[in-house]
Structure 1
Amino acid sequence: MIIDKLRGQDLDGFFEMILMLENIEECYLFFDDLCTLNEIRTILQRYQVAKMLYNNNTYREIEAETGAGSATISRTKRSLNDGNDMYNVLFSRLKENNTSSLQ
């Protein structure tokens, strides 16, 4: 895993802090404090690409909808298909909870 290079007490503490967020509003406030607008847009675009790939959209559809380039789509597809399977785990959970954000 790429993130293993950063694994340790500091990153554990950071993730534990994220897990303490209690609702979407707290997420908005925390990530607004933590990230720049462009960083949030980048993360959001990757999420949108992964969601569209999960829903079997084509590269052309993804590019048109998200503005992502083929390199970003390809990288995200590799993560979705050959990564740690967390996209599939989380998208499945969204589906189980009937969360509309998956569509």
Structure 2
Amino acid sequence: MLNKEKYDLLLKCLSALSSPDETLSFLEDLCTIKEIDDMQHRLEIAQGLFRGKTFSEVQDDTGASSTTVSRVSRCLKYGNGYKNILGKIKGV
């Protein structure tokens, strides 16, 4: 688990974002395109698993490695981050 105090500024900045456009602008400044793509890819994997797709279906749909799907699956099972955010977003 990450140390909340260490990441206080980042967490405050992310919490302050109020629109998709504002968030994208911040992410473009903060991260490389590859890092943003990797985050999007993990979210697509989490979304598929969250919707009840099988491990194999998610792997086929996203082209992700078994290692990546397994890691995201483990986070969905034992963590709260993906479940919380995917549960809040309509149409997921």
Deviates more, 1:17-26 or 1:58-67: 58-67
> 5+ residue gaps in structure 1?
none
What RMSD in Å do the two structures reach over aligned CA positions? 1.4
Which amino acid in structure 1 is aligned with residue 51 of structure 2?
A: N
Correspondence 1:69-88 to 2 at 5 A: 69-83=65-79, 85-88=80-83
- Counterpart CA distance in 1 for 2:28 and 2:87 is 27
Which amino acid in structure 2 is aligned with residue 93 of structure 1?
A: K
- Counterpart CA distance in 2 for 1:37 and 1:91 is 22
User: How many percent of aligned residue pairs carry the same amino acid?
Assistant: 29
Q: Is 1:58 the counterpart of 2:43 in the alignment?
A: no
Which amino acid in structure 2 is aligned with residue 55 of structure 1?
A: R
Radius of gyration: which is bigger?
1
- Counterpart CA distance in 2 for 1:23 and 1:92 is 18
The residue aligned with 2:88 is: 93
The residue aligned with 2:29 is: 33
Give the TM-score of the pair, scaled to structure 1: 0.80
How many residues are matched? 92
Deviates more, 1:59-68 or 1:29-38: 59-68
Q: Is 1:14 the counterpart of 2:14 in the alignment?
A: no
